[in-house]
């Protein structure tokens, strides 16, 4: 008996693998409540400087604790599932050139924000509250779209010859 599969069986198995990978990447999303919770945190963080100027001493610490807690939860299987991340994308499927581009865009945006903050002498009444509301709305509205875009990039990277065929 021949142990090698026929060409038809091999093609069917590869189609099934691709279907399962696409199904797993389709589940690559977080829970909606996490987007809403972080939007609320961002809004309260920025609005606190307008309404509670005395909170400036401890609000950074509270934000740091929340972010570290979120990252630690994502590092565990149970915590990630609780946050709505039932699958994790293989980082080797993301092309290094894309990761470098995202990193550069992030650094440039941080530098631009720092320069704009340093150069802004105009005080808008309740400007931080307005900025917090806008950022919260953007996070709630576009968070799921950004994650779906990442999954699409991973799919495209895989078809473009990801290392070791992982996705």
* 66 part of a folded domain: yes
- As a whole number, the mean pLDDT across the chain is 76
CB atoms inside a 10 Å sphere around CB 68: 10
d(CA 159, CA 156): 5
Q: Is the pLDDT of residue 155 over 50?
A: yes
d(CA 72, CA 75): 5
pLDDT in tens, 110-154: 787 777 766 666 677 888 888 889 888 888 888 777 767 766 666
Q: Would you state the pLDDT for residue 40?
A: 92
Structural domains in the chain (count):
1
* 61 part of a folded domain: yes
* 104 part of a folded domain: no
Q: What angle do CA 136, 106, 29 make, to 5 degrees?
A: 55
pTM over 0.75: no
- Look up the domain containing 154 and give its range: 30-91+125-158
Do the beta carbons of residue 167 and residue 21 sit within 8 Å?
Answer: yes
* 118 part of a folded domain: no
């Amino acid at each position: 008996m021949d142990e090698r599969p026929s060409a038809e069986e091999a093609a069917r198995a590869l189609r099934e693998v691709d279907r399962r990978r696409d199904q797993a990447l389709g589940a690559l999303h977080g829970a909606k409540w996490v987007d809403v919770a972080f939007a609320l945190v961002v809004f309260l963080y920025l609005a606190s400087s307008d309404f509670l100027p005395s909170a400036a001493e401890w609000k950074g610490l509270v934000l740091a604790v929340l972010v570290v807690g979120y990252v630690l939860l994502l590092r565990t299987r149970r915590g990630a599932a609780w946050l709505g991340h039932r699958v994790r994308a293989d980082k080797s499927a993301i092309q290094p050139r894309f990761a470098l581009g995202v990193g550069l865009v992030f650094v440039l945006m941080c530098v631009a924000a720092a320069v704009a903050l340093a150069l802004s002498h105009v005080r808008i009444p309740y400007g931080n509250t307005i900025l917090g509301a806008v950022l919260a709305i953007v996070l709630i509205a576009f968070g799921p779209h950004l994650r779906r875009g990442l999954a699409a990039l991973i799919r495209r990277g895989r078809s473009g010859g990801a290392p070791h065929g992982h996705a």
